[in-house]
Structure 1
Amino acid sequence: MMTFQEIIESIEELPAEDQEQLFELIRKRRIESRRAEIAANAQNVFQAVEAGTAKRGSFEEMKAYLLSDEDE
């Protein structure tokens, strides 16, 4: 396996146009990965709402809930 430094050096050896294409490809893949993560989180929220385990309230109520001591 290549080290991180070896990967950087390999990229630096590429022509500028290839580097730009690589950076664009990586950017798009990161966007798609983030979208998939957001979709999975949304699915978890929907399941929690259906199960009745989701907490509801205003921002201030949720903030207070999250910051409250569990012993209270």
Structure 2
Amino acid sequence: MEAADKLSTEEQGALIGGLHRRLIERQREELATDIQGTQGEFQFGRCRLVTPPELLKEIHS
């Protein structure tokens, strides 16, 4: 943080933009990994499709 404080406003903006892009990319990678895992679970019958009302009923029971 101290090093970033020494940057100009323009440089700080560029740094923030770069960090934001990295964060988005990591979130995309995590989501892709989660999707692959879930697809595998579905293929092996470890989960099933449900409607929103069915899901709510299961959550509240």
TM range (shorter): 0.7 to 0.9
Instruction: Spell out, residue by residue over 1:19-67, the C-alpha distance to the aligned partner (whole angstroms, 9 max, x if none).
Output: 1110001000010011011101100110011101113210110122133
2:15 corresponds to: 22
Q: Which runs of 5+ in 2 are unaligned?
A: none
Higher Cα radius of gyration: 1
Q: Which runs of 5+ in 1 are unaligned?
A: 1-6
Q: Distance in 1 between matches of 2:21 and 2:6?
A: 22
1:36 aligns with 2:11: no
Instruction: Select which of 47, 52, 66 maps to 2:59.
Output: 66
After the TM superposition, list the runs of 4 or more consecutive aligned residues in structure 1 that deviate by more than 6 angstroms: none
Q: TM-score normalized by structure 2?
A: 0.87
Q: TM-score normalized by structure 1?
A: 0.75
What one-letter code is carried by the residue in structure 1 that aligns with 2:33? A
* Higher RCO (Cα < 8 Å, 6 or more apart): 2
1:54 aligns with 2:52: no
Number of equivalenced pairs: 61
**Which secondary structure does the structure 2 equivalent of 1:56 belong to?**
coil
Q: Distance in 1 between matches of 2:42 and 2:16?
A: 39
What one-letter code is carried by the residue in structure 2 that aligns with 1:28? R
1:45 aligns with 2:38: yes
